[in-house]
Chains A and B, each alone.
Chain A
Amino acid sequence: MLIQLTVNGETIAVEAPPDITLLDLLRDYLNLTGTKEGCAVGECGACSVIMDGRLVNSCLVLAPQADGSEIVTIEGIHAPDGGPNDLQQNFIDYGAVQCGICIPGMIMAGEALLMHNPHPTRQEIRMALAGNLCRCTGYQQIVDAIEATAKQRQGEMG
């Protein structure tokens, strides 16, 4: 069936089977492989994307369910010059990245949090990441990176 959606600001129409997931659509049909599959049952968050302003597990969204929706994936997160944005830069600077497989999902979860709560506490940051498993980092430097970004964005606005 024809699925029309906006991905990273670009309006797209794509012909795809109705029974695949949004994750499959992004990876297999749109070649956006930054979104990862770690479990396919909603447990790991590697497939996290922002759909209409909310964090979702794209492995649990049926592709046609996204018809008419606005999707942001990791490929849509960057500075205007195409380089890393502030959150991504902080992930680098705070050592939040190891093997990296969870990182696109972590950045989506971080962006989703900061959209809804610009002044999170460390505990709130941890709660916002609770659906995103990381086996390498122990989360601490990821929390550091998001906390630093929140403070910097606050500074910019204040």
Chain B
Amino acid sequence: MFDYIRAKSIDEAVALLNDPHCVSRPLAGGTDVLVQVRHGPPSFQRLVDISRVPEMKIIEQRGDEIYIGAAVTYTEIIESRLLQETATCLVEASRLVGGPAIANAGTLGGNVANAAACADGTPPLVCLDAVAHIRSLNGWRAAPVAELITGPHQTALHRGELITHFTFPILPSSARSVFLKLGRRNAQAIARLNVAAAGGLGADGRINFARVVPGSTLSHLRRFVEVETLLIGEAPSTELCETAGAEAGRVMVEATGRRWSTEYKEIALHGLVACALRRVFHLEN
């Protein structure tokens, strides 16, 4: 048994979340929370509904940054012209989340706060170098998404903190970002592996910008800088993408050791990263 209250503003939400008499948690789309309360007694006494807080539903460009409210849904991301132009990997990821009804309800903030290892929203955010903006009674703080997520279902969020929005710098104009997902079926599927990747070329035709973020691989989501370093300064080619894919596999195995799934994931991640990079560098559609 738990209670429900709806917040109308960020200030109100933060006040409700910090009510000393009632252990409260944010409720956004509910697509994670409602499944969890089915599986066991809740760890909270009240849900604070932030899904309709207007300030948390904004998608806009602010200077050379993109601003996305934490309560923005996948459908709103998919439908945003701005994001289609500036954050392809995030839009592609959103298209692959659940099915239409999940996309209509699920939010980016919920995806980050839930911090599932197989989440599809988080690799694109890390790939875009996104920063989460967090409000609490102590005011604002900002944390890169890559640092906020500390492990599977673990974040550096404190009780009473609310992610209000994310910002990320617009990619260089030459850069392109993509997202690939490998699941057991084509919709409503948990990612076996996914990858967000971005890259761009300098005037000399060589790679001067590269980001590779595989998901469902490490316990701590991060950019594979080892792979990125290998790409920088090279001219894009199919062989280079293969080398990068192999390196991604190697990095994963080094970090995780050999687990039950490694035999498969090592090969598949190689293929997935190579394919993502071929798309990034227009070697394939």
Contacts and interface: CB of A to CB of B under 8 A. Distances in A.
Q: Do chains A and B touch in the complex (CB under 8 A)?
A: yes
Interface of A: 1, 17-19, 21, 40-43, 45, 48, 54-57, 59-62, 64-65, 67, 109, 112, 127-128, 130-132
Contacts of B102: 42, 57, 60, 131
B4 A65 contact: yes
A48 B17 CA distance: 30
Contacts of B254: none
A62 B30 contact: yes
Contact of A130 (B3, B35, B99): B99
Q: What are the 3 closest A-B residue pairs judged by CB atoms, nearest first?
A: A131-B99, A130-B187, A18-B4
B98 interface: yes
A130 B186 contact: yes
A41 B4 CA distance: 19
B1 A57 contact: no
Interface of B: 1-4, 6, 27, 29-31, 34-35, 37-38, 47, 49, 51, 75, 98-102, 104-105, 186-188
A48 B100 CA distance: 10
B193 to A, nearest CB: 20
Contacts of A62: 4, 27, 30, 34, 47, 49
Name the prevailing secondary structure of the B interface residues: mixed
Given A57-B101, A131-B188, 11 more contacts: A19-B37, A45-B99, A54-B75, A55-B104, A60-B34, A60-B35, A62-B27, A65-B6, A128-B100, A130-B100, A130-B187
Nearest to A51: B104
A56 B98 contact: no
Contacts of A19: 1-4, 37
A65 B6 CA distance: 8
29 contacts: A18-B3, A18-B4, A19-B3, A19-B4, A40-B38, A41-B34, A41-B35, A42-B98, A43-B188, A57-B102, A57-B105, A60-B29, A60-B102, A60-B105, A61-B30, A61-B34, A61-B105, A62-B27, A62-B49, A64-B4, A64-B6, A65-B4, A65-B49, A112-B100, A130-B99, A130-B188, A131-B99, A131-B101, A131-B188
A56 B4 contact: no
Given A61-B30, A65-B4, A130-B186, A41 B38 contact: yes
A131 B100 CA distance: 6
A54 B27 CA distance: 19
Contacts of B30: 60-62, 65
